[in-house]
Structure 1
Amino acid sequence: MRITISVAKVLAALLAEPAAQRYGLDLMRLTGLPSGTLYPVLHRLTAAGWLVADWEPIDPAEAGRPARRYYRLTAVGVTEARQALADLRAAIPDGRPSWGGTEPTGAPAW
């Protein structure tokens, strides 16, 4: 699995409470990712076996809203996500992002 910034954000949000079920809007709020970025990441993680996805068992007419699809890390997903984020942290010297010696305009100097 290729760990992009978007994937890392989703994994970090899910690892905050590994047993919790999260739905799309909840994850969008936690990660700051738009739906067009979030849902492909969720699909990739589900296809890789890191997530399970289940539909909320409600009657949409009775609830007055569509059923939500909930995502939760699998046991394998928890292990792999923790390792992937640890590897990512280890690749960043002293925990700071590398800007190649120059700070982008408006970025704080570390």
Structure 2
Amino acid sequence: MRLTIPVAKVLSALLAEPEAPRYGLDLMRLTGLPSGTLYPVLHRLQAAGWLAADWEDVDPAAAGRPARRYYRLTGEGIRSARSALTELRALVPAEPAGPDLVWAPVW
């Protein structure tokens, strides 16, 4: 899995509560990523076996909204995401080079 910044953001958001299922809009709010960036990342994570996705069992007419697709990390996804983000964190300098390079991942 190629660990890009969007992938790292999604993994960090999912690892904040690994057992909590998240839907697309929820992940967009947590990561700040637009849908055109988020959904390809989710698809790649799912194809790699790091992510499980299931449609909620809801009547859209009764709920007043479409059914949501919920995503959660698999056991392998949790292990692999933690490892990948730890490796990434080791590459980040302890002292930022400037005020624009402040990055505080959550995991």
Q: Distance in 2 between matches of 1:30 and 1:95?
A: 25
Q: Residue 87 of structure 1 aligns to which amino acid in structure 2? A: E
* Greater RCO, CA 8 A, separation 6+: 2
Match of 1:66 in 2: 66
Q: Cα gap change, 1:92/1:28 in structure 2, threshold over 3 Å: closer, same or farther? A: same
Task: Report % sequence identity.
Answer: 72
Counterpart in 1 of 2:105? none
Partner of 2:100: 107
Question: Aligned partners of 2:58, 2:13: CA distance in 1, in Å?
Answer: 25
Residue-pair matches, total = 102
Structure 1 length as normaliser, TM-score?
0.87
Map residues 65-104 of structure 1 onto 2, 5 A cutoff: 65-94=65-94, 96=96, 103=98
Structure whose CA Rg is larger: 1
| Counterpart-to-counterpart distance in 1, 2:81 and 2:95 | 18
Distance (whole Å) between structure 2 residues aligned to residue 39 and residue 58 of structure 1: 22
Measured on the aligned residues, the alpha-carbon RMSD in Å equals 1.8
Question: Which consecutive unaligned segments of at least 5 residues does structure 2 have?
Answer: 103-107
Task: Decide whether aligned partners of structure 1 residues 95 and 42 sit closer, same or farther in structure 2, where only a CA change above 3 A counts.
Answer: farther
Structure 1 counterpart SS, 2:36? helix
Moved more, 57-66 or 9-18: 57-66
Please say if residues 89 and 95 of structure 1, whose CA atoms lie closer than 8 Å, have aligned partners that are also in contact: no
| Residue 52 (structure 2) aligns with | 52
> SS state of the match for residue 54, structure 2?
strand
Show the 5 A alignment for 1:4-23: 4-23=4-23
AA matched with 1:79? R
* Residue 31 in structure 1 maps to residue 24 in structure 2: no
